[in-house]
Amino acid sequence: MKLNWGTGIVIAFIGFISFILYFVVRMSTDNKANHDLVTEGYYKQELAYQKEIDAQEYAAALDAELTIEKIPDGLLIRFPENYNYNTISGTMFLYRPSNRHLDFSLPISLSNSHLLIPDNRLLDGRWDITINWTINGKDFLHKQKLIY
């Protein structure tokens, strides 16, 4: 049987399509590739996004910015000194983009103007920190991405 250029093109197309289908099937059935949404309530969070923008702008306008720094004991979060730390309440959410099983949330209860997250709670890598805090009925929000 003689092989001409038309037959060669058809064989090349069939080979290419088989190659692509192999990888599509392999990625679809692989348990390591999780194709779910990153957060469970993604659409509900999007609807509340304007409140987050307002809280961030309010914190910037009143000079109520937080500072986050890595120290040998862990992650130190400093709240503004010009506010009474006894009136600060809220929650802190640490989000790990690479593994949702490492995400955790902490309530904010201060005995001084800073909060320490112990080193053993955090693995090396990227973390997204969201701190929702309230002083005297005013809501503030601080978001930061960091490499620990």
Tens of each residue's pLDDT in the chain, 148 residues: 678 899 999 999 999 999 999 999 988 887 776 655 566 777 777 777 888 888 888 777 777 788 888 998 888 999 888 888 888 889 999 998 888 788 899 998 888 888 888 888 888 889 999 999 888 888 888 888 988 8
Which spans in 48-129 are helix H?
A: 49-61
Helix then strand then coil, % of the chain, to nearest 5: 35, 30, 30
